[in-house]
A and B are shown apart, each in its own frame.
Chain A
Amino acid sequence: MVRAVADRTFLPVKSLLEQVGDMMILTGKTISSAVRPPFPYGGEFVQQFLFVLRLCWLPLVISNLAFNYGAPGLQAGNFLSLFGALDRHGGFFILAAMRENGPFITGIILAGVAGTAITADLGARKIREELDALQVLGVDPVKNLVVPRFLALMVTTGLFNAFAMCFGILGGLLATLTFQAPPGPFIATLLTNAAIPDLWGSMIKTTIFGAIIAIVACYKGMTASGGPEGVGRAVNTGVVIAVTAVFFFNYVFTQTLLGTHPEILILR
C-alpha cells in the first residue's frame, strides 16, 4: 500500500528529473559539437532557418497584432482614458510589447509551430530507425540534425522578436486610434520611455527561448518510441514542456532584469 502510493508519487517526479538531466546533457553535447570542427551543418542550418521562417511568420504577425490590440491596447487605454491620460499610452507599451508580450508570444508561437514540426520530423525519423541508420553510417545525429536546428531556432526566435515588437506596437497604435486619439503622443511617449536595456533584454530573452524550445523539441523527437502513437505523444509532451519552460524562464529573466536595471522602470 505505502509502496504503491510512493511509486505513484515519486516515479513521475523521478522520470521528470531524469528527462531534465538528459536535456541538459543534450544541451552540453550540442554546444560542444557546434563549436568543434568540422562544421558539416551549414546547408541544413539554412534549410531549417527558411523552414521556420516560412512556417511561423503569419501566425506570429496575427497573434501579436491581436494580443496587443486587446490586452495592453484596449485595457490599458481604458484605464488611462479614465484619468484623461491617453497620451501616455505609448509608454505602457515598453512594458507590454517590448518587455513581456512580444518575447513570450514569440516563444509560444515558435514552441507551438516550429517546435512541434521539429519533434514530428525527428520522431518520425526515429521510429523509422533512420537515426540508428545514420549512426551506423558513422554520421553523428547530434552534429548533423540537432545543432543546425538549435542554431536556426535561436537565430529565428531572436529575429522574430523584432517583428513581434513592431506588430505589437502597431496593435497598440490601432487601439489608440479606436479611442479617437491622435497617434502622435503615443509614438512620442513610446520613444521617450524606450531604454536600451529593455531592447537587449528582450533580444537575449527570446534567443534563450529559442534554445530551450530547440533542445526540448529535439530531445522529445529523438527519444520517441512506440510506433505512430509515440510520435503524436512525443509532440504532445514536448510542446507542454517547452511552453512551461519558456514561461518559467520568462519569470526568472524578468525578475533579474527588473532587479538589476532599476533605471528602466522610471517613467519619463
Chain B
Amino acid sequence: MRTWLVDKPRDGIAAVGEMAKFFGTVLGEVFGGRVFRFFGEALRQCGVLILGSTLVIWTLTFILGLTCGIEGAYFFRSVGAPAYSGVFTAWCNLRELTPYAFGYMLSAKVGTGLVAEIGAMRITDEVDALEVMGISSMTFLCGTRLLAAFLVFPVMYVGALGAGFFGSYLAVVQQIAEVSSGGFFLIFWMFQNPVDLIFSTIKGYMMAIVVVLVGLYYGYTAGGGPVGVGTATAKSMVLNLVAVHLIGAMGTQVFWGASPRAPIGG
C-alpha cells in the first residue's frame, strides 16, 4: 500500500529531477562552448550519424509516404475528387507523418544506439578511465554527440521530407494513377508553403533533440552489468515514444491549431 502510494511517486519525481539536471548539464556543455575543444570528435560523431542512420530513416519516411499516398488517393477517389489527392498527401507528409516517422526511427536507431554504446562504456569503466585521464566525460561523450545531433538533424530531416514526398508521388501518380503528374503537383505545392516547412522542421528537430538527450541520460547512468545495458535500452525506448507523441500533438496544437494555413476561403 505504502509502496505505490508514497515511494513510487517520490521515486518517479526524483528520477524526473535527475533527468532535468542531466539535460541542463549537457545543454550547458554545448551552449557554454566547452564542447568546441573536442570539435574533431563532434565531427566524427556527425559522420557516424550520417553513415549509420540516414538511409534507415529515409527508408521509413519513404514507406510512410507510400502509405499516405494510397490512403489519400483512395479517400479522394471516394469523394469523387481524385485530382485533390495532393491535399491529403501534402498535409499528411509535411505536417504529421514525417515528423513522427523521424521521431520513431531516431528513437529506434539513434536513441537505443546511444544507450547501448555509452552504457557499455559505463559498465566497462571506460567513462571513469576518461575522468582519470583528465578529460571531462560529460563533455567528451555527451556534449560532442549532442553537438553532432544539432548539426546533422536539420539536413537529415529535410532529406526525409523529400523521401516522403517521393513516396507519395509514386503511390498517387504511378501506382493508383488517377491523377496526372502536373495536376498532382499543382495541388500538392499549393497546399504547403515555406512557413509550414519551418514549423514541421521545428517539430522534427524538437523530437530529435529530446530523443538524443534521453538516450545520453540512460546510457550515462546505466549500471548492473550486461543485463543493465539491455534494460536501460528498453526503458529509454518507452520514454522516447511517449515524448515523441506528446511533442507531435503539442506542435500541431501550437503551429496549426488556431489557423489551418490553407489557400481556401478569405
Identify the A interface with B (CB < 8 A): 55, 59, 62-63, 66-67, 69-71, 74-75, 78-79, 81-83, 95, 99-100, 105, 108-109, 111-113, 116-117, 119-121, 123-124, 127-128, 178, 227-236, 239-240, 243-244, 247-248, 250-251, 254-255, 258, 265-267
Contact = CB atoms under 8 A, between A and B. Distances in A.
Nearest to B252: A70
A247 B97 CA distance: 12
Given A100-B71, A240-B109, A243-B60, A70 B249 contact: yes
Question: Majority SS of interface residues in chain B?
Answer: helix
B204 interface: no
B32 interface: no
B193 interface: no
Nearest to B59: A244
B241 A112 contact: yes
17 contacts: A59-B238, A63-B245, A66-B246, A78-B256, A78-B259, A82-B260, A112-B104, A112-B107, A113-B241, A120-B227, A120-B233, A121-B230, A123-B230, A231-B233, A244-B59, A247-B60, A248-B63
Given A116-B112, A232-B229, 8 more contacts: A69-B253, A71-B96, A95-B75, A119-B234, A120-B230, A121-B230, A178-B257, A250-B67
A229 B226 CA distance: 7
A112 B103 CA distance: 12
Interface stretch (B22-30, B114-122, B140-148): B114-122
B159 to A, nearest CB: 17
B248 interface: yes
A102 B86 CA distance: 23
B168 to A, nearest CB: 12
B70 interface: yes
Contact of B104 (A108, A127, A236): A108
Given A108-B241, A254-B70, A120 B234 contact: yes
A108 B241 CA distance: 8
Interface string B75-92: 101110000000100010
Contacts of B60: 243-244, 247
A113 B231 CA distance: 11
A127 B225 CA distance: 12
B265 interface: yes
Contact of B246 (A62, A111, A248, A265): A62
B67 A113 contact: no
B257 A236 contact: no
A120 B231 contact: yes
A83 to B, nearest CB: 8
A110 B97 CA distance: 19
B233 A235 contact: yes
A244 B75 contact: no
Contacts of A232: 112, 115-117, 119-120, 229-230, 233
Contact of A124 (B79, B230, B253): B230
Closest 10 CB pairs of A and B: A232-B116, A120-B230, A78-B260, A228-B226, A70-B252, A70-B249, A116-B234, A66-B249, A229-B120, A71-B96
Contacts of B66: 251
Given A70-B96, A74-B253, A82 B112 contact: no
Interface string B95-134: 1110011001101110011011101100110000000000
